[in-house]
Amino acid sequence: MTSSLIALETFVGFRWLPADYWDLSIPVYLYLAVVAGGAYLAGASAWFRRTLGGGGGRLEPELIRWGFLIAVVSAAGAGLAVMSHLAVIYRALLFPIYLTNFSSWITIGTWILVLLSVIATLCLVLALFGEDAAGEDGQSLWPRAVVSKLGILPTVDRLVDRVRPPTGALVALHAVGSLFAVATIYTGFELAIVETVPLWNEPVIVPALFLTSGVAAGVGLTLAVSLLFEREIGQLAGGYAVAVGLLSGVSLLIAGIGWSEIAAGGMAANASHGALTEGTLAIGVLVVALGLALPLLVGVALGAAAALGRLPRSVERAGGPLLIASFGLLTVSGLLMRILFLLAAEQHPVVVVA
Amino acid sequence: MFYFDPNRCIGCHACSISCKQRHDRDADADDWRTVTHLERGEYPDFQELPVSMSCMHCHDAPCEQVCPPDAIVKREEDGIVTVNRDRCIGCHYCAWACPYGAPTYGDDGLMSKCNMCLGEGPGSGHGKPPKQKAEDGGLKLSCVDNCVGEAIKAGPVSEVMEEASEAAARRFENGAYNSRVIVEPMDEDSAAGMDDVADASINADDEGAAAIPAGGSDADGGASDWLNG
Amino acid sequence: MAERGGGPSLSRRSLLKTTGAAAGLAGLSGCVDFIEGDEDRDLGRLGEAETAFGNCWMCHHACGQQLQVNDGTIVDISGVDGHPRGSAGPGTEGTLCPKGLGEMEKAHDPDRITRPYVRKDGELQEVDWDEAFAYTADKLRDLAETHGPETFLDASSWTTTNLHEVVWRDLYGTPERIGRGRHVCFGGAHLSGNLMGVGADMRFVDYQNSEYIIAWGRNIFESFAGQWEPKGVLEALDNGATLVVIDPRHTPTAQKADHWLPIEPRTDGALALAMAHVIIEEGLHDESFIEEWTHGFEAYEEAVADKTPEWAAEITGIDAELIREIAIGFAEAAPAAGIALWTGVGQYAESQKASQNVFALNGLVGNIDRPGGLRLWQGPPFSDPFEVRDIDLPNNAADETPALRKYDEYADQPYRHTTGIGHNIVPEMVENGHIRGIYTHYDNPINDGNSEAWMNALDEMDLVITVDAYWSELTRRADVVFPEAIQLEKDTLIDYAPAWSAYHDRRWMTASEAAVEPLGDSKPGFQILRGIAEEMGWGEYIPWESEAEYNEDMLANVEYSFEEIAEQNYVILEEFGYEAWRENGFNTPTNAFQFDLDEMDAYVRSIEEVEEMEGVDLETGPQWLPPGTLGEMPDEEYPLHFYDTRSVFFAFGADQPLSQQRSQYAARHGLKSADYEGNYLTINPTDADPRGIETGDMVTVESADGAGELMAYVSERTPPGFLTAEFGFGEGVPHEEGFNTMMLHTEGVDPLSSQPDRHIPIEVHANGGDGA
């Protein structure tokens, strides 16, 4: 039936659409949301280890506090980034009233981000203040110094201890927080449901990629910051390094699969692919790939060695900076990846078959 | 629903201007109704086809689905998709979702688009009584009213189908353009016809091209959107 | 009363709730267009608007306009159903093209000149009307005394009033008059049409009755004299007519054609002769018409005897078989076959002869004033208001000979025998002191040819009076600037060629009363001319107080009053038949349609002079003149061809100031986002690529006589080697962005008609740096 129709057709034209509706604040938002999730997971996992596994060492509490701190800052950054893009900010701030369309991933995502922020803040406060925290030391406790300057540190400590819920509730809190952290995969769905952009419209690849790369970055950033001050790369550090490395590797794999899909796609996919293989965007792609490959290698190799206690002394000294550098690169590459997703986006042209 | 006949369109842009003036919008604002001239071929085997498009008021409006504050509504009463600018947050999600590039944004960042002349100006018509026939006092669509070639029509699907040719109706029913708009096929006698569609500067193995001839059921979303979507 | 038509209601598919919906509101049926003042319906401005009419004066073919006026502001504009120019005929939709829509913007354009200005101490200064009229009269009297009124040139073009003829010729006494068609629009073809006996009707076809339409050097779907043309052709196509387009470029008309002949530029004459050859060979010519009603067939037959399609194929680049097919198709469909020809075969130096060859085809197949052919349109029986009032008009120019014929300096202008003046030669006439003053009225000579020299000439003239709406190099150089109201602000009875229309066998009239007040202090041209006349002491000759009164007298022989016509915007009058020549013959000395112009003495004299000047052999009958016989050919320095074009967005240079049209013109080229709203140089990639030119780049185009900058538009729609740009932009006209294409030449003309030769050899190069 259709082929007989085609015999009449004598004109095929393509009306391309602008595909330029978002600025860089959106990739920043998409990224920082998942980084927050990753950092939270780093903090929460360390917290679980300490609370349930009775772990020790200097790194663990640092990971907890840096994790939650980075989560809060990232989430705040994500919020600021996305609001800077909006035309009417107060309507976003009053989102429970305005954002009523729960079929929209932006609505879903807003709740996730807000709730994650709230829980992360709670967990952070609980980790920073109280009698136990007062007795600890580590760079991650610097907010205590700030509060102290305000002269209310003892009050805050006492207050926090008074409202601190029992361990069972705390476990639930951190578990729920972890769920919301993983739920930052919504950022990938926000893109994936856009059917007009083949570069985005991959309901498995894009969310998975955003999650793994974002969590890797969040955890990696947490570890890197922690290692900035606690230079020892012990088993715990090694374990986290391996985790970050593996996540990077998985991200690289997913990205590769996605890349081959785009390369073999239709017109708009082709256009996106073309954009990513030319000029500055191509350089960006290389940086992103490098930013995933390096942490994979360093994280797994160094991390495994450290986790198994086989890290040679000589390497250990260089290991810290190496991990910090590669996880720093990972962080940058994650943002770059989202930016590339935006800049290389092409919408299906309107196919005029006349 | 809109109907468009490229055989009658002369690419004069009267529709774009008429719409702009009806809704009191500045010349440098983005067009709610765009006219694009699609060129193909090398001189003298050259063709240039003008295409007039606006919001298609899709039955499955993707913009409505993605709008976070529910500002975009496909109305029950008359099927017109309107935007409530008192709820719009200017997130531009609708622009990404729209397969026709219909949403436009002004200096205030809020979205506005064709409202089938339900009212005047951006956001007009939202929440207002149903669209009336011209004889009952309804505004005749400006683009339809001033199209020199009478190439644009609008109305309920049943009425518009009556004006369409058999070929147009047939491929509409086959799912062309996801049944969001009726477009006439080109007259067979038009000059400089390109007999080989697959050759039309698309690679034969390109999914976009494959989507067009028979069996265009590829996952390539929009490109196969015209048929079978 | 024009209806807005029964548009369909809009309900979702078969959930037709219109009955319920209609019940929700009072059932206002009949002629009411809008629910008045119903805020609930979001019809802010439209809800309280009143309907008024207009007649579009952008391209001056008067399509009916229906306006919604809200408290003195036009808030909506659309067409008038059934209008002779603006619709496809009785019972059909009236619409408006972009130019017509633009009149809404023009009515309220703050950039318009709204007060009179006169030059005092070297500067233009704002004055009131009384002072402006007094100043003008003084200057006119000075000029008449010092140099004589015959040194004053009436350069009125698109005036809605014809009063200027009386004021300048009859009363002031100058024979100098420069118009449109012959002098700057399509001179060669205009001359041919007149001499052969079909006047200016050869631009149009009786479309709706036609089976075979050839658009020859015409882009009907873009440059139309009223929307009845594109609508008529669409109707013809719907009825199975064949459309052939002969044009070097691909145009919207070529897109809809059954055959597009991408002809080598300036070879139209060869194609026409070959077609005649085929038609005669096949015996498809109309022998009885030829015998009884034509003159000079022998010369014609002889001229085409050796012009085979194969011969023409070499020259035109069109396949010989296709030439045969078109010729036979045309002749077989005749008399329901027509040729529409205009600027494409009217603005190069050999276009008189080329168009003669083309028009001859009409006589050959006998389609003249037959259904579907070359209609001889007839207008309404307007009266001369001066006769109606028995006014004894003096005829002060009666004894004057135009300078072009009077003085020896112009012995090298062969066209002076057939026309009284030439556009490109005026600057020289000013230098010689033969022209010292000018009156322009909706006309900008800087637009039309020899631009640089014209600007200098305007500076040199003793008295420049302009009636205009916008500032430009013309008005800025004037001594007097009179701001005219636009058509929507005037009581207008259209008396300019109310002939061709969608009503193929009916006379008609169209009129409208002022829909809004004139902007600022502007006045209708009628009042301006009357004011000048009064100040000059000629008040007794122009007794009408208002334009409406004058219009009324024009209708003395018509059953309708001005108001009655204006109320409905148009009226259709009595039928007129076909084959008018049976009764009246042709308006030629031989009373026949003339293939051969040997009986036209003035023409013969021109031919002889051109033969001598150019060293060529010219016939009075159809003849092939290769490009470059009279015009320019490219050379090494200027290897490309340039021709200027029109677009659907602008008429002349008058509408470029309007933002909506400029914006869409840019959108049409995909360059709406570029920070540029001038014209574009359309260039084929074959020429653009080696020069490193891409769409959006600023480029410089250069000829032997001038150069300028504009933005490039690279496209396959134009052949390699043939570049075009829209005219009406750039220095000299109101919208100065872009390039004035007429800066590219100086005095080059078609020597037989005076038409500026707009086919110019050029070179182009990229400017470097970023495009706008």
The CATH number that applies at residue C679 is 2.40.40.20
Whether residue B100 is predicted with pLDDT greater than 60 in this model: the reply is yes
Domain assignment of residue B109, given as a range: 2-183
Residue C7 pLDDT: 31
Lowest mean pLDDT among C174-178, C447-451, C650-654, C734-738: C650-654
Structural domains counted in chain C: 4
Average pLDDT over residues A311-327: 84
Residue A46 lies in a domain: yes
Whether residues B160 and B212 share a domain: the answer is: no
How many Å separate Cα B106 from the centre of its chain?
20
Lowest mean pLDDT among B70-79, B172-181, C383-392, C734-743: B172-181
Whether residue C659 is predicted with pLDDT greater than 90 in this model: the reply is yes
pLDDT band at residue C42 under the 50/70/90 scheme: low
Residues of B in contact with A268 (CB under 8 A): 208, 220, 222-223
Domain assignment of residue A23, given as a range: 19-353
Whether residues B145 and B202 share a domain: the answer is: no
The CATH number of residue A192's host domain is 1.20.1630.10
Share of chain C above pLDDT 70, in %: 94
Structural domains counted in chain B: 2
Residue C5 lies in a domain: no
What is the number of other CB atoms lying within 10 angstroms of the CB of residue C568?
18
Residue C292 pLDDT: 97
Q: Which H or E run contains C763?
A: strand C760-766
Residue A296 lies in a domain: yes
Would you state the structure tokens that stand for residue C304, as one six-digit string? 């085409």
Nearest-Å Rg of the Cα atoms of chain B is 18
Which residues are CB-contacts of A135 (< 8 A; sequence separation ≥ 6)?
none
State how far the alpha carbon of C260 is from the alpha carbons of B197, C213, C219, C256, in Å: 20, 12, 12, 9
Whether residues B145 and B51 share a domain: the answer is: yes
- Is B73 in the A-facing interface, judged by CB distances under 8 Å? no
Structural domains counted in chain A: 1
Residues of B in contact with A354 (CB under 8 A): 6-7, 49, 183-186
Residue C91 pLDDT: 95
Whether residues B69 and B162 share a domain: the answer is: yes
Q: What is the pLDDT of residues C548-591, one digit of tens each?
A: 999 999 999 999 999 999 999 999 999 999 999 999 999 999 99
Average pLDDT over residues C421-445: 96
State how far the alpha carbon of C400 is from the alpha carbons of C169, C170, C420, C430, in Å: 10, 11, 11, 18
Report the mean per-residue pLDDT for chain A.
Answer: 92
Residue A261 pLDDT: 93
Alpha helix positions (H), C212-284: 228-238, 252-256, 268-281
Residue B203 pLDDT: 26
Whether residues C95 and C121 share a domain: the answer is: no
Whether residues C269 and C301 share a domain: the answer is: yes
Report the mean per-residue pLDDT for chain C.
Answer: 92
Residue A119 lies in a domain: yes
Cβ–Cβ < 8 Å for C351, C345:
yes
Distance of alpha carbon C270 from alpha carbon C629, whole angstroms: 13
Q: What is the pLDDT of residues A121-155, one digit of tens each?
A: 999 999 999 998 888 988 999 999 999 999 999 99
For tokens 């556009």, what's the residue?
Answer: C423
Asked if B51 lies within 8 A of A13 by C-beta distance, the reply is yes
Minimum-distance CB partner of C7 among B31, B44, B140 = B140
Whether residues B151 and B204 share a domain: the answer is: no
Calculate how close chain A gets to B200, using CA atoms only, in Å: 7
Distance of alpha carbon C653 from alpha carbon C475, whole angstroms: 13
Residue A7 lies in a domain: no
Whether residues C23 and C48 share a domain: the answer is: yes
Residue C218 pLDDT: 97
The CATH number of residue B137's host domain is 3.30.70.20
Whether residues B121 and B217 share a domain: the answer is: no
Whether residues C301 and C216 share a domain: the answer is: yes
Residue A335 pLDDT: 97
Whether residues B159 and B208 share a domain: the answer is: no
Distance of alpha carbon B83 from alpha carbon B91, whole angstroms: 13
Distance of alpha carbon C585 from alpha carbon C568, whole angstroms: 36
Residues of A in contact with B214 (CB under 8 A): 1-3, 6
Residues of B in contact with A105 (CB under 8 A): 66
pLDDT band at residue C374 under the 50/70/90 scheme: very high
The CATH number of residue C242's host domain is 3.40.228.10
Average pLDDT over residues C705-710: 96
Which residues are CB-contacts of C19 (< 8 A; sequence separation ≥ 6)?
none
Report the amino acid identity of residue C198: V
Searching chain A, which residue's CA lies closest to the CA of residue B176? Answer: A353
Residue C28 pLDDT: 28
Calculate how close chain C gets to B112, using CA atoms only, in Å: 15
Q: Which H or E run contains C213?
A: strand C212-216
Residue C27 lies in a domain: yes
Q: Is the four-CA dihedral A278, A282, A283, A284 of positive or negative sign?
A: positive
Whether residues C220 and C123 share a domain: the answer is: no
Lowest mean pLDDT among A173-177, B164-168, C326-330, C611-615: B164-168
Residue C12 lies in a domain: no
Residue C277 pLDDT: 98
Cβ–Cβ < 8 Å for C536, C485:
no
Domain assignment of residue C166, given as a range: 117-177+395-494+524-542
Residue A13 lies in a domain: no
Whether residues B27 and B89 share a domain: the answer is: yes
Whether residue C689 is predicted with pLDDT greater than 50 in this model: the reply is yes
Asked if C260 lies within 8 A of B28 by C-beta distance, the reply is no
Minimum-distance CB partner of B191 among C27, C29, C259 = C259
Residue A57 pLDDT: 83
Asked if C667 lies within 8 A of B34 by C-beta distance, the reply is yes
Report the mean per-residue pLDDT for chain B.
Answer: 82
Would you state the structure tokens that stand for residue A141, as one six-digit string? 């406790």
Whether residues B31 and B79 share a domain: the answer is: yes
Residue B10 lies in a domain: yes
Give me the residues of C, 252-311, that contact B with CB < 8 A.
252, 254-260, 262
Whether residues C135 and C202 share a domain: the answer is: no
Residue C479 lies in a domain: yes
Whether residues C40 and C129 share a domain: the answer is: no
Residue B190 lies in a domain: no
Share of chain C above pLDDT 90, in %: 89
Q: What is the pLDDT of residues C208-227, one digit of tens each?
A: 999 999 999 999 999 999 99
- Is C399 in the B-facing interface, judged by CB distances under 8 Å? no
Cβ–Cβ < 8 Å for C445, C180:
no
The CATH number of residue C142's host domain is 3.40.50.740
Residue A346 pLDDT: 96
Residue C447 lies in a domain: yes
Distance of alpha carbon C135 from alpha carbon C117, whole angstroms: 10
Cβ–Cβ < 8 Å for C193, C199:
yes
pTM of the predicted structure, to 2 decimals: 0.91
What is the number of other CB atoms lying within 10 angstroms of the CB of residue C637?
11
Cβ–Cβ < 8 Å for B34, B16:
yes
Q: What are residue C468's DSSP bridge partners? A: C483
Cα angle, residue C709 at apex, residues C705 and C712 outer, rounded to 5°: 120
Q: What is the pLDDT of residues B204-224, one digit of tens each?
A: 223 333 333 332 223 333 333
Whether residue C771 is predicted with pLDDT greater than 90 in this model: the reply is no
Cβ–Cβ < 8 Å for C468, C498:
no
Whether residue B42 is predicted with pLDDT greater than 60 in this model: the reply is yes
Whether residues B51 and B117 share a domain: the answer is: yes
Average pLDDT over residues B81-97: 96
Residue C770 pLDDT: 52
Calculate how close chain C gets to B41, using CA atoms only, in Å: 7
Whether residues C100 and C156 share a domain: the answer is: no
Sequential DSSP letters for B12-67: --HHHHHHHHHTT--TTSPPSSEEEEEEESSTTS-EEEEEEE-----TT-HHHHH-
What is the number of other CB atoms lying within 10 angstroms of the CB of residue C580?
16
Whether residue C158 is predicted with pLDDT greater than 60 in this model: the reply is yes
Residue C633 lies in a domain: no
Report the amino acid identity of residue A69: L
Whether residues C242 and C350 share a domain: the answer is: yes
Whether residues B210 and B176 share a domain: the answer is: no
Asked if B218 lies within 8 A of A266 by C-beta distance, the reply is yes
Whether residues B156 and B222 share a domain: the answer is: no
Q: What is the pLDDT of residues A235-266, one digit of tens each?
A: 899 999 999 999 999 999 999 999 999 999 89
Give me the residues of B, 105-164, that contact A with CB < 8 A.
105, 108-110
pLDDT band at residue A1 under the 50/70/90 scheme: very low
Which residues are CB-contacts of A317 (< 8 A; sequence separation ≥ 6)?
none
Distance of alpha carbon B207 from alpha carbon B192, whole angstroms: 26
Minimum-distance CB partner of C25 among B129, B134, B189 = B129
Cβ–Cβ < 8 Å for C320, C312:
yes
Average pLDDT over residues C96-105: 96
